[in-house]
Amino acid sequence: MTETPAEQHRFIVEEDEAGQRLDRFLAARLPEISRSRLQSLIAEGRVRVNGTPATRPARKVAAGEKVALELPPPQPPELTPEDIPLDIAFEDEHLIVLNKPAGLVVHPAAGHAGGTLVNALLHHVEKTGGKLSGIGGVERPGIVHRLDKDTSGLLVIAKTEAAHKHLSEQFAAHGRDGRLHRAYLALAWGAPRLPTGAIDAPIGRHPKDRTRMAVRHHDESARAAITHYEVLETFLPGVERPAASLLRCTLETGRTHQIRVHLAHIGHPVMGDPLYARAHAASANRLPEEARAALAALNRQALHAAELGFVHPATGERMRFTAPPPQDFQRLLQALKEMSAT
């Protein structure tokens, strides 16, 4: 068996990063790796600065220095099937369509070795005598696409290699060839001036906060991103500006946090979003008590993957699924409706 090569990461220290500890610098550049793990890698001699091994995590970095990290391949995890309830909308021998609840991580990652959708799927197919596609690797069997942990909604899972390949091709085209359809519902702060529109703005890693994405017009590493929105309803229309709105969003591209980043970019971030709606925290003061309580109880971004359509990989049939938002989303929506009616 061919051994998986180590993963190489190379960075040049920017002026505003100079003076940081080496472990802090790497943690900011690689937020998916824990700082304690990075400290161990440094101690093992897997980090070089200007070609020389750097074994002290506290070493300060200087502007212009070249930092290289050799990340050894992870040991294949022993994934354990877990009896986690699944809301399955459709299933046959080729695929599963399910409605993911908010709070459920799709696949194992740092900090989430268990309790994921993959663990639940392994239990489900074990119980029913089936299997998942292996194309996604040990950690991501059957996973064709994903939703953020705190975004709810529809996902399709591949059970065969052929289904995985066919579905992946559809997602890669993002609906441009007419096969794939995805639409999300979002409760946003304020309301766009136009009832419909397209947000065409490239997305890349945030320059200061590596856990976030951002619109990056002059960053060559940023990737093209287009989101279409439609204002379905506005709330508190009796004042000069709506306090919030219900939007339907569709995607031409599939970038990380795309809807969340784009809506924040136009000044109407998703309500409850812990990363992109921080500047609108005071907006909750405009809401009546019941709506404020519903928003606090939501404790996540009010974003739901409500519609999913694709061509069945084996039969060629056009499949279309819808899923209503979960109760916490609907409680906030109802509170906003009642606020507007008073």
Pull the structure tokens for residue 30: 């690689």
Helix and strand numbers, DSSP H then E, in the chain: 7, 15
Q: Where would I find the H helices in the chain?
A: 22-29, 35-43, 117-128, 161-173, 258-265, 289-298, 327-341
* Alpha-carbon gap, residue 148 to 132, rounded angstroms: 21
* Alpha-carbon gap, residue 25 to 36, rounded angstroms: 13
State the number of CA atoms in the 13 A half-sphere of 47 facing the CB.
24
Which of the residues 23, 148, 150, 328 is marked catalytic? Answer: 148
Residue with tokens 């299997």: 131
Instruction: Identify each DSSP E strand in 35-134 by its residue range.
Output: 47-49, 52-53, 66-71, 88-91, 95-100
Q: What is residue 112's DSSP assignment? A: B
209 is an active site residue: no
* Alpha-carbon gap, residue 43 to 28, rounded angstroms: 18
Known catalytic residues are: 148
